[in-house]
Amino acid sequence: MDQQQTLAAPISFTGVGLHSGASVNLRVLPAPPGTGVVFERVDLDRFRIAATIKNVARVAYATTLMKQGVLISTVEHLLSSLYIFGIDNAIVELDNLEVPILDGSALEFVEAIQRVGLMSQQAPRTFLVIRKPLHVEERGKTISIYPAENLQICYSIDFSHPMIGKQTFEFEASAENFAREIAPARTFGFLHEVEELKKNGLVRGGSMENAIVLTRTGIMNDILRFKDEFVRHKILDSIGDLSLIGRPFIGRIAANKAGHALHTLLVSRVLSDNSNFELMPYGEWKSSEAVAAG
């Protein structure tokens, strides 16, 4: 798509925050070209926080944005959905500090976007095209990005749990693939960690209605949506975090046991040096790819 896009109509959601447990109403509204994705706290005089890497404040168990002390937490599932459907511009209104977790996946966001559709805007779309490899590693966890012809993600996880173990998934980015393969995958957590997390102010809104809950040997929920739902959910999270690069990007991601901290660190590393990437209008990028292929 060579033109910027926004939603054709507003979409609305009501739910609770996974970590805060607080009730929240959220609306995603169409926005003019060049706006980007901007969160607006309607309960705090419509205070605005742009969904960009410079506003990332915390990355423990969720991605939290902050500006002048005002927080917007657990933004990754919504941002992932907006990004993969090519929504460049949107105002996200909410009346509390955390995006609702809904059923723990991005399914409701995707269904709402598909229901109202998109609107093309009279402004060119610029892509960030990765030009050289970058690697980030911390305590045995790694994430890398390489030049590629489109957005691809290969993600691997390894948990010493009988329901998870080693899982790898390859995702070729498209709205259709995302809706089918990634959006339904729910967040997950371990029952034996719940009390400690609650003491630290986390997962107060968690339940079997909005997360896969694992015991030491199995799961408390009735059934998984995919046998490898866990790694698919990691891809869901990663797309939302990587979208904080601020524009559509072209590259191949390879992640192993990564998480919010490494996802966002990679974005910072990419943007730290202009030689890592090239900004190109859609038509120019497609032309260059056609020449390279020929």
Is 135 annotated as catalytic? no
Burial of 41 (0-12, 13-18, 19+ CB in 10 A): buried
Return the HEC string of the chain.
Answer: CCEEEEECCCEEEEEECCCCCCEEEEEEEECCCCCCEEEEECCCCCEEEECCHHHEEECCCCCEEEECCEEEECCHHHHHHHHHCCCCEEEEEECCCECCCCCCCCHHHHHHHHHHCEEEEEEECEEEEECCCEEEEECCEEEEEECCCCCEEEEEEEECCCCCEEEEEEEECCHHHHHHHHCCCCCEEEHHHHHHHHHCCCCCCCCCCCCEEECCCCECCCCCCCCCHHHHHHHHHHHHHHHHHCCCEECEEEEECCCHHHHHHHHHHHHCCHHHEEEEEHHHHHHHHHHHHC
CA-nearest of 170, 136, 154 to 267 is 136
From 19, 77, 233, 260, the catalytic residue:
260
- Region for 256 from its dihedrals, namely left if φ exceeds 0, alpha if ψ lies in -120 to 50, beta otherwise: beta
Chain centre distance of CA 61 = 13
Burial of 158 (0-12, 13-18, 19+ CB in 10 A): middle
User: Which residues participate in catalysis according to the annotation?
Assistant: 260
